[in-house]
Amino acid sequence: MKVQMNKFAGFALLVPAAAQAHPGHPELPGPAGHDLAHMALALSIAALAVAGLLLLRRLDAHRQEE
């Protein structure tokens, strides 16, 4: 599980924002709305990956204490 989260975090941080978006995602207003929507999607995926890694670290630390 930890290895999978590390791979996912690396993927989310290294892949360009345009590759993270899917067809039909909501647009943000303005001329750069499409690009901003891609960046928002990429940043949210990266944030979720980091949060998952932090949760796994806490779980590992808790298990080692027992």
pLDDT tens-digit readout, 12-58: 665 555 455 556 666 677 777 777 877 888 888 888 888 888 898 89
What tokens appear for 20 in the block?
Answer: 């993270």
pLDDT of residue 9: 65
pLDDT of residue 10: 65
Q: Is the pLDDT of residue 7 over 80?
A: no
CB neighbour list of residue 39: distance below 8 Å, 6 or more residues apart:
17
pLDDT of residue 8: 65
pLDDT of residue 30: 75
